[in-house]
Each structure stands twice: as structure tokens, then as C-alpha cells.
Structure 1
Amino acid sequence: MLSAEIVRACEQAMKEGSSSFYHAFKFLPSPKKEAVFVIYAFCRMIDDAVDEPEKSIYTLEELEYCLENLDRVEDHHFIWPALKWLFAHFPLTKNPFYTQISGQRMDYVKTAYQSMDELEEYCYRVAGSVGEMLLPILHDQPNHLAMKSGIALGKAMQIVNIIRDVGADQKLGRRYIPLDIMTKHGYTQAEFEEKVINWPFKLLINEMIYIADEWFKEGLKYIHTYPRESAVSIRLAAGYYREITQVIQENEYEVFTKRAVVTNTRKGKLFLQLTN
């Protein structure tokens, strides 16, 4: 089993990185709970290497190299013994982690998206891959239908992240909202750059929320095949993320300067609704 110190470090990374994810998965029994903490902590490091390189202790290339050579990497950071434990105790491969890295690498070269098809590929790589990582931990007998469903759930959550983080991503010089959806609703690049929130902007955000909801439905389609404790965590994660879109609408679609936050009170109400 992992040392208490390593578990605490991975758990803290999840607490700080996504309270919604943490509140959803902290109820899992051991060792599934610890495995989710490890996966999140490593994915957080991959993301930080791209978005906050000045704060990251590893570059993306170093993380990829260490993952490739995990058996030979010294345990000079808590993530390496954690990953060694993960792969030794659960039937998952490194492939989805490489997919995750490839998706984050896209941010180096692609700062704007022209179509929803392009964005879906990105969402698969950076978030659908997380569904692939989690499935062997959360499901006792995963099959291709459950895998497809897990990928859809990850993509749905990434769309929510994109909507919520429009302003933060704009500061990094990125526009994930596809140009074809903007054009469809009569919203221009100039308006985007000027942070204009008008009716066309609300329509395009609503369309992206609809796309996310369709993927959420796909992601929950086979929830009945999961062990009960895993199913509860997945429902909570989906519910918390869906609630973010509700907060965005309540905030009058102000996503340029205001981050939508689901309060603990709202999480508590959702918990009671989704676990009864």
C-alpha cells in the first residue's frame, strides 16, 4: 500500500485542483480512492507543465520520459512511487497517459479551434483519456461500451471546463470555442477579443452546454454496470460539473471575468439528490 505521506500529497493535489472531482471521488473505498488521487495528481502535473511552466518542477518532456522509464526512475518525487504502485495494483496501461500528454502538447501549437470536430479530438485527448484511465479502477468488468461511455463523460467535463474558463484561456491567448459555432450564431472574433456578452454569445454558450449534456447522457448510459460505490462517485462528478453550467447561466454568461463556482452548499444539496 502507498505510504500515508504519498496518499496525502496526491489527495491534496486533487483538493486544490478540482473540488468537484474531489468531493465526488473521496467516498470511494480503498484502494480505488487512492488510485483516483494518483491519477488526478499526475494529470495535474501534466496540465501545469503546459499552463504554468514557471511553477512546474517538470517539463512535459521530462514527465513523458519518466513515465516511459518508470521502472528506472528514482523516487525523488511522490508521483513516481505513486504511479509504480498504481500500475502494479490495477489493470491499466500507460497508453491513456500518453494520449493525455499528446493533448496537452497541442496547446503549444494550437491556440484557436475552427470546428467542433477539431475540439472534440482535443477533448478526447485531454479528458476522454482520463475516462480510459479511470475505467479499470472503477469498473470490475469493463468492456468497449463502458469505455466509450467513460470517454464521453470525460469529453463532457472538458466542454464544461472550456465554457467556465473562457476568460482565463483568453489571457493565455487561447480560444477553444469553435469558430464554426461562433459564426453560426453571428458572434465575431472581434467581439470575443472585446469580451462582448450579447445574445449571440449566450446562444453559442447554450449550444456548447447542449453538446456537453449529450455527452453527459452518453457517459451515464452504462452506469448501472458499475459497482454501487463507483456509480455514486460518477453520478456526483457528472452532477457537480453539470451544475457549473447552471451557475454560468445564473451569472448571465459572464465567463470572461468571473469564474463559475459551485458552492459547498449546492454540492451538499446535489449529494442528497444524487445518492438517494
Structure 2
Amino acid sequence: MTPAIRRHTISTAYSVCGGLTRKAARNFYLAFLLLPAEMRRSIYAAYAFSRRVDDIADGAAAPPRKQVLLDRCRQDVHRAAKGSARRWDPVSVALADAMVRHRIPAEYLLGLIDGMEMDLRVNRYSRFDDLFQYCYRAASLVGLICIEIFGYRGAEEARRHAIDLGIAMQLTNILRDVSEDASRGRIYLPSEDLARFGVSEEELRGGRSSPEFRRLMAFQVGRARTYFRRGRELLPLVDPAGRLCVQTLGAVYIRLLDLIEAREYDVLSSRVRISSPAKLRLALGAWLGAAPSW
């Protein structure tokens, strides 16, 4: 253990990450509670770091300052891969311990930073292939980090399905947040799809859903469900201790798609949300061994 690690005890560092996760991880926290304690705290460290990177990209700082902060995060990853950490930073301390403990490749975390960095310079995606690359970096790499913590068999097959599940979840986030993102100048829906269905960017900011927009959204939901079907194949490959967490996360996100469909794809007038009791029911269903709903 390095002097930097000793300055902030590992147990304290994990406790801080747990508090950050409990406060910020609205759609994840209940699923994380299904994990064994040691596995859960490593997930907290990974989440706290990814949340930090995401908050930098979405924050109010000027782009040059954001770049400086993201570069600092890269330095933290390089240190963590060697079992070291920035002084007095609990997230870095916990991340270093988790990376070494679970042999998490540094390239996963560095790629995640690259994904958040895309939000500093890219606010439109011409084709789905371009959006796929963003989703891979922003979400699939998180899935790859998670299965290193959970344990898995099947090597490349498991990693492929973890990528699929990450794509599905990020596409769902994008569909839920169309209006909010558009108001911030970001259009994640591919331009080729907007043109195909006759939907303008102005409509995304307007708060009213046209028949054309609903058809566009139906297509996007179908695409997300395709990736969920592929991602579901990860479940039998993940070690049992982590399987309930994966199952619950998938169920929560599928529920978001169900709610989008139920309101006839109107995500422009208000944000789609899952109530806390509904999330609890989904988590309880996984814990009781209910068949996956996705």
C-alpha cells in the first residue's frame, strides 16, 4: 500500500463512494444492494468515478477547464492501475483498490473518459454507427468494468453481451432525455433517422410530439429492445453473486421503455420516471427469483 493510499484509509474511501452512489444513482442503487458487501463496495468505487467524469462533462465549467479536469481523471486512472492514488481523494483511493483487486483494465476507464470528452466537442451524430461509438464508451465500458467485479465465464461472449447491454441502456437514457438534451444543444438521435422520419431539431425542443416524432421514437425503442435481447444473454454467464444486480438493472431499463410506449412515445412534454416503489418491486422480483422480464 502506497503512502497516498494510507492517507485515506480504504474503508473510509469506500464509505464515501457508497454515500455518493446512494445520493446520485437513482436507477442503480437498489440493484447494487443485491450484491455481496465486498463486491458492492467495488461497484460503488467504479460508479463514483464514472459519476465524477460525467459530472465534469455536464457541468457549468468552461470547456478548457473541463478538459483539465478530465485529464486529471486520466492521471488518476494511471495511478490507480499501479495501486496508487491522489492524496486525500477517497474516490481515487477506492478506485485504486478496486482496480488492483479485480484486475480491471485501465483501458476501460480511460475509454469512459474519452466518451465523456466527446460531449465537449460533439453535439450531433450523423449515423447510428457514430452514436454506437459514443454509447460504447459512455455505457458499454461501464458494463465491462462491472463484469470484471462480478466475475463471469465465457470470455469474449460475455464481454460481447455486456457491450450489448450497455448500448441498450444508453439508448434508453437518450430516449428518456431527448427534450432535456435538446435544450442543452445536444441531439443524440442520429440525423439520418430524423431525416428518415421527417422530424426537425426544432420539434425536439418544442415540447409537442407529432405523429412523425412518435414513429421515430417507436423505431428507436425497437432498436433499444433489440440490444436488450442480445444483452440478456449475459445473465447465465455472470457469476451468481452478480447476476441479480444485472437482472434488476435490465428490468428497470426495460420498464422505462415500457413507460415510453405506454405514453405513446411522448417524452417531450415531461420526463419519464419510475417511482421508487416500482423500482423496489423490480428488485424484489429479482431477489425472489422471478423470471427476467426482458
TM-score by length of 1: 0.91
Q: Deviations over 1:246-274 (max 9, x none)?
A: 22333443423522111122123323443
Cα 1:116–1:140, aligned 2, differ >3 Å: closer, same or farther?
A: closer
For residues 77 and 33 of structure 1, the distance between their equivalents in structure 2, rounded to whole angstroms, comes to 20
What amino acid sits opposite 2:43 in the alignment? V
Unpaired runs of at least 5, structure 2 = 2-8
Match of 2:96 among 84, 91, 107: 84
Aligned to 1:60: 70
Aligned to 1:69: 79
For residues 53 and 100 of structure 1, the distance between their equivalents in structure 2, rounded to whole angstroms, comes to 20
Cα 1:190–1:225, aligned 2, differ >3 Å: closer, same or farther?
A: closer
Please state if 1:226 is matched with 2:238: yes
Match of 1:253 among 265, 277, 283: 265
Between 190-199 and 103-112, the greater mean CA deviation after superposition: 190-199
Aligned CA-pair RMSD: 2.3
For residues 259 and 177 of structure 1, the distance between their equivalents in structure 2, rounded to whole angstroms, comes to 17
8 A Cα contact 1:160 1:212, kept in partner: yes
8 A Cα contact 1:123 1:158, kept in partner: yes
8 A Cα contact 2:152 2:158, kept in partner: no
Between 38-47 and 70-79, the greater mean CA deviation after superposition: 70-79
Aligned to 2:274: 262
Please state if 1:39 is matched with 2:49: no
What amino acid sits opposite 1:13 in the alignment? L
Please state if 1:8 is matched with 2:15: yes
**What are the within-5 Å matches in structure 2 for residues 135-150 of structure 1?**
135-150=147-162
Matched residue of 1:220: which SS? helix
Between 262-271 and 88-97, the greater mean CA deviation after superposition: 262-271
**What are the within-5 Å matches in structure 2 for residues 13-24 of structure 1?**
13-24=20-31
Aligned to 1:103: 115
For residues 201 and 242 of structure 2, the distance between their equivalents in structure 1, rounded to whole angstroms, comes to 42
Matched residue of 1:28: which SS? coil
8 A Cα contact 2:178 2:187, kept in partner: yes
8 A Cα contact 2:208 2:269, kept in partner: no
| Percent of matched pairs sharing the same residue | 24
Please state if 1:214 is matched with 2:221: no
Unpaired runs of at least 5, structure 1 = none
Count of residue correspondences:
276
Q: Deviations over 1:86-137 (max 9, x none)?
A: 1221121111111111111111111111111111111001111111111111
For residues 20 and 138 of structure 2, the distance between their equivalents in structure 1, rounded to whole angstroms, comes to 18
Please state if 1:181 is matched with 2:188: no
Cα 1:192–1:259, aligned 2, differ >3 Å: closer, same or farther?
A: closer
For residues 73 and 25 of structure 1, the distance between their equivalents in structure 2, rounded to whole angstroms, comes to 25
Matched residue of 2:27: which SS? helix
Matched residue of 2:233: which SS? coil
Between 218-227 and 43-52, the greater mean CA deviation after superposition: 218-227
Cα 1:73–1:224, aligned 2, differ >3 Å: closer, same or farther?
A: closer
Cα 1:257–1:52, aligned 2, differ >3 Å: closer, same or farther?
A: farther
Q: Deviations over 1:10-61 (max 9, x none)?
A: 1222223322211112110131111111111100011111101449997111
TM-score by length of 2: 0.86
